[in-house]
Amino acid sequence: MSQHLLLPLVILAPSPTQEEPEDLDCGRSEPSARIMGGSDAQAGTWPWQVSLSQKGNHICGGSLIAPSWVLSAAHCFVKNGTLDPAAEWSVLLGVHSQDWPLDDAQVRAVAAILVPDNYSRVELGADLALLRLASPARLGPAVRPVCLPRSSHRFAPGTACWATGWGDVQEADPLPLPWVLQEVELRLLGEAACQCLYSRPGPFNLTFQLLPGMLCAGYREGRRDTCQGDSGGPLVCEEGSRWFQAGITSFGFGCGRRNRPGVFTAVASYEAWIREQVMGSEPGPAFPTQSRQPQSGPREAPDENCTIALPECGKATRPGAWPWEAQVMVPGSRPCHGALVSESWVLAPASCFLDSDRSPRYLDNWRVLLPSRPRAEQVARLVPHENASWDDASDLALLQLRVPVNLSVAPRPVCLPQPEHYFLPGSRCRLGRWGRGGEQGPGAERGGVAEGPTPPQRGFAPSSFSEPAPRPSTLLEAELLGGWWCHCLYGRQGASVPPPRDPPHALCPAYQEEEEEAGGCWNDSSWSLLCREEGTWFLAGIRNLSSGCLRPRAFFPLQTHGPWISHVTRGAYLEDQLAWDWGPEGEETKIQSCPPATEHGACGLRPEPAPMGVLWPWLAEVHVAGDQVCTGILVAPGWVLAATHCVLRRGSTTVPYIEVYLGRAGASPLPQGHPVSRLVISIRLPRHLGLQPPLALLELSSRVKPSPSALPICLHPGGIPLGASCWVLGWKDPQDRVPVAAAVSILTPRLCHCLYQGILPPGTLCVLYAEGQEDRCEVTSAPPLLCQTEGGSWVLVGLAVRGSRELFAAIGPEEAWISQTVEEAHFLPPSGSSYWPPEGSDLCPPDTARASGTPRAAVFLLLLTSLIQG
């Protein structure tokens, strides 16, 4: 809004023609003049607006209703159930800009603050306060009272009213200097229409019950609203030639969010309370009669209709045809891919421009290509993120277009997440182009468009860009992995995982990549991560170049940059979370921390939810000589542990042809799985005297990269991890090889020894299956025994001995051999590793050997006799 000089003063005349004896003329402002999304007000337009300061700082707004009375909101003065002392507060009247020398302003001390007895919290209503000034204000053109509505006064829904204040211009974005009073036009919303909006879960999944004495004003689509610091200020509506205060700014859910209009205290409801408080003051506030009742009728009805606003951003006709895709053309360099985030702003990596001469002269030659635009857009301004040069996570710049574009199907901005956004694990995502990369990315090899490095000239031939060739690369599908997996994969041992609503450190999507041998490390590619909620696309992350060869790739979350982007752009489409369907037992209730890590990432992490059906990333299929198939366990990127009897024929010393598959879940793998196969180039056995050692290490022809379908397990040095729960993991059928896990408990060595007297090699573990679980796994493939520790990571405890479901060769005794052979194998620290009690005599009660029936019955008997013996 343009600034004008002060308009001629209007002399106040007494108004003897009033129908009722009113001792005060109210609600008059400069005759010519006719926050968030608002604009500078003209001086003198809102002469009742006051600023309320506590110890010298502007805290709230208020309105002058009589020379000695100011109306404001209770919550400005009541903290933690206690009313502030009036002496801490002062009232500034007749100010426009709070920065200028406040020569014309009047300052008044506060003699008393009055708050309704039953005010407790804003959301329970009665959020109003009266301030009695220590001395009356001098009325004049810049200081005048507003009219108050009587309790019978009705403001029609749909009426355009105005809210004013010096509050934040956006969430967490204070009004900049020179602190000029802001005004914003807000439409009154009917009670039913407002309740309809607040009944739908919004930010933080909150719903809200509107109470009598509250009113709503704003817009379904949001974007224009009051915000922090506006509280207590007036919402005024013009009737006849007077301004009536319909509301007191009370609260909102965020500021300017979609379907979350501002909530105001309905002043009319509190006529009686106000009159009672000011009784005896001369002159008191004016409550003129309403000149005419608002017309009810067709204008009002649609407002009571329960319609909600849908997001204006993030809609794409089909994935990959991104209507926000922007290409920034800088003379002398390859095009840089970014995203349209508002009518006027494009977000792109700052690294595209850091080496450019950024003087405005150069920007003249820059162009931005947007979908469905006939011409390339000119660039007015480049705003790099202040930390872009040293922080990869802040490698962002905003480019302002010289002329805002009309938003339609295309171009259309992408939605940006609020800082507290929690992308649910399992969210459907895609990779989008970002920055200058692409040629060496995973998709480009499948026929992505290659932009030439030819520097664009002034006056492009638009036709060469308006019909982009199909880009299969931008269709790369991805599924978001759980925060725990993502946070811990990169090895922050013991670190606690940020809970939902705290910005994550990284976002990990699982996606199908080129077979790894083809592309090598993916370090030169630049991609953004787009995630969909309720059909709306969010720009969720940008690539983390430093994540090296680890998979899944980590993306820097964009949500931490929401405040910066909205501060610069004043109108980027920050959108609330749209999907909330995680259960009460969900991830948010657990405090999670990371397991120990190797330098190649953490071990024993199982992605949750299981991406694309691969549940056990360390479970390998070991195909021996094209014939037998055994289970194997990935213990390091180049090593699989298997049962010797499975991979070597008894007495044989020749290494058979062995192939290992990871990332398979059954003989008919899931279409989106990412199977990895390797040949075995050597078999290592520990040196045991006499007996064939039970465990064999298989060396793979090349390392596998950590991924949700291939990640090493942790190993346990002995005993059983404290508090762990254990499973035998195998196949029910060696033909279809669908993994099944059977819950077991591990018996103490003594019980084990008694049960299988005399027949066990040292270091053998025995397990007891949970009821009905015995038959879940077949035995010929030598299923492994796994436990999940209290910390959540999975450890390998043993491998089944030949032909047994209950007996397992323990990993612990082979720790030295495994560690020597496979440096990267990760044994958990032994601390607290065993709950086995010290063993007393090795006297076994009679009749506990296998002969006495099923092992279950034998164990029961054994436990019983142990108890009896004390």
Ligand X SMILES: *[C@@H]1O[C@H](CO)[C@@H](O)[C@H](O)[C@H]1NC(C)=O
Which residues are annotated as catalytic?
Answer: 75, 127, 231
Among 226, 544, 707, 789, binds ligand X (CB under 6 A): 544
Q: Work out whether 521 is an interface residue with ligand X (CB under 6 A).
A: yes
Give the shortest CB-508-to-ligand X separation in angstroms. 8
Comparison of 257 and 664: residue with beta carbon closer to ligand X = 257
Nearest residue (CB) to ligand X, 322 versus 490: 490
| CA 819/CA 815 separation, integer angstroms | 6
Query: Shortest Cβ distance from residue 563 to ligand X (Å)?
Result: 8
- Please select the residue that binds ligand X; options are 3, 317, 464, 546, rule is CB under 6 A: 546
Q: Residue 296: count other Cβ atoms within 10 Å of its Cβ.
A: 11
Please pick, from the candidates 176, 360, 520, 626, the single residue that binds ligand X as defined by CB under 6 A: 520
Among positions 23, 276, 386, 839, the unique one binding ligand X when judged by CB under 6 A: 386
> Least separation, in Å, of the C-beta of 191 and ligand X?
15
Q: For ligand X, what does the binding mask look like between residues 206 and 245, x meaning CB under 6 A? A: -x-----x--------------------------------
- Contact, 362 vs 383, CB < 8 A? no
> Does residue 702 touch ligand X according to CB under 6 A?
no
**Tokens at 356, concatenated:** 């450019």
Site for ligand X in 490-519 (CB under 6 A): 490, 505-506
Asked if residue 372 binds ligand X (CB under 6 A), the reply is: no
Three-state helix/strand/coil letters over 1-55: CCCCCCCCCCCCCCCCCCCCCCCCCCCCCCCCCCCECCEECCCCCCCCEEEEEEC
Q: How far apart are CA 188 and CA 240, in angstroms?
A: 18
Q: How far is the CB of 214 from ligand X (least distance, A)?
A: 10
- Taking the complex as a whole, the smallest distance from the CB of residue 732 to ligand X amounts, in Å, to 36
Q: Toward ligand X, which CB reaches closer, 122 or 698?
A: 122
Q: How many CA atoms lie within 13 A of 360 on its CB side?
A: 5
> Binding marks (x or -) toward ligand X, 90..119, rule CB under 6 A?
--------------------------x-x-
Terminal alpha carbon distance of the chain: 89
Structure tokens at 304: 């009571």
Choose the stretch contacting ligand X; rule: CB under 6 A; options: 132-140, 323-331, 469-477, 520-528.
520-528
Nearer to ligand X, 22 or 392 (CB): 392
Nearer to ligand X, 48 or 490 (CB): 490
573 Cβ neighbours under 8 A, 6+ residues apart:
311, 312, 313, 314, 341, 342, 413, 414, 415, 416
Select the residue interacting with ligand X from 32, 135, 151, 205 (CB under 6 A). Answer: 205
| From candidates 17, 57, 80, 652, binder to ligand X by CB under 6 A | 80
Bridge pairing between strands 416-417 and 574-575? parallel
- Other beta carbons within 10 angstroms of residue 486's beta carbon come to 25
Minimal distance, residue 157 CB to ligand X, in Å = 12
Could you tell me if 630 and 646 are in contact, meaning their C-beta atoms sit under 8 angstroms apart?
Answer: yes
Single out the segment in contact with ligand X by CB under 6 A; choices: 96-104, 120-128, 239-247, 857-865. 120-128
- CA 743, 748, 754, 755: dihedral to nearest 10 degrees? 0
**Residue 664: closest CA among 651, 678, 654:** 678
CB of 546 to ligand X, least distance (A): 4
406 sits near ligand X (criterion: CB under 6 A): yes
Indicate the residue among 496 and 854 with the shorter CB distance to ligand X.
496
| Total of residues contacting ligand X (CB under 6 A) | 33
Q: Which is nearer to ligand X, 31 or 462 (CB)?
A: 462
Do residues 40 and 3 lie in contact, with contact meaning Cβ atoms separated by under 8 Å?
yes
Measure the CA–CA gap between 826 and 426, rounded to whole angstroms: 28
The piece of 175-183, 359-367, 544-552, 764-772 that touches ligand X (CB under 6 A) is 544-552
582 is a site residue for ligand X (CB under 6 A): yes
Rounded CA-CA distance 410/373 in Å is 8
Q: Is 580 in the site for ligand X (CB under 6 A)?
A: yes
Question: Minimum distance between the CB of residue 392 and ligand X, rounded to whole angstroms?
Answer: 4
Q: How far is the CB of 122 from ligand X (least distance, A)?
A: 10
Q: Applying CB under 6 A, which of residues 84, 300, 343, 524 lies at the interface with ligand X?
A: 524
Which two structure tokens, joined as six digits, stand for 579? Answer: 């999907």
Q: How far is CA 204 from CA 220, 418, 421, 423, 596, in A?
A: 18, 11, 9, 13, 33
- Per-residue binding string, ligand X, 256-295, x by CB under 6 A, is ----------------------------------------
DSSP for 234-283? Answer: EEEEEETTEEEEEEEEEE-SSSS-TT--EEEEEGGGGHHHHHHHHTT-SS
Considering the complex, what minimum distance in angstroms separates the CB of residue 124 from ligand X? Answer: 5
Q: Point out which span in 42-50, 70-78, 163-171, 540-548 binds ligand X (CB under 6 A).
A: 540-548
Write down how long the chain is. Answer: 870
Distance CA 11, CA 112 (A): 31
Question: CA-CA distance, 511 to 530, in Å (whole number)?
Answer: 13
Residue 865 identity: T
One of 9, 160, 301, 864 touching ligand X (CB under 6 A): 301
User: Is 547 an interacting residue with respect to ligand X (CB under 6 A)?
Assistant: yes
Residue type, 129: A
Listed ranges 188-196, 318-326, 476-484, 521-529: which one lies at the site for ligand X (CB under 6 A): 521-529
Closest CB 83 distance from ligand X, rounded Å: 13
Contact (Cβ atoms closer than 8 angstroms) between residue 431 and residue 528: yes
Angle at 435 between CA 430 and CA 440, to 5 degrees: 75
Radius of gyration of the chain (CA): 36
Do residues 108 and 93 touch, judged by C-beta distance below 8 A?
yes
**Distance between CA atoms of residues 825 and 830, nearest Å:** 15
Kindly report the CA angle at 588 between 586 and 591, in degrees rounded to 5? 115
The only residue of 523, 804, 821, 865 in contact with ligand X, by rule CB under 6 A: 523
Cα separation, 418 vs 718, in Å, equals 47
Q: Which residues from 125-164 bind ligand X, rule CB under 6 A?
A: 125-126
**Nearest-approach distance from CB 507 to ligand X, in angstroms:** 9
Of 303-342, binders to ligand X (CB under 6 A) are: 305, 307
Task: Determine, following the binding rule CB under 6 A, whether residue 554 of this chain makes contact with ligand X.
Answer: yes
Q: Give the integer Cα–Cα distance in Å for 133 and 836.
A: 77
Closer CB to ligand X, residue 398 or residue 799? 398
Residue with the two structure tokens 């991890």 = 721
Among 302, 453, 455, 853, binds ligand X (CB under 6 A): 302
Contacts to ligand X by CB under 6 A: 80, 116, 118, 124-126, 201, 205, 207, 213, 301-302, 305, 307, 386-387, 392, 403, 406, 490, 505-506, 520-521, 523-524, 544, 546-547, 554, 564, 580, 582
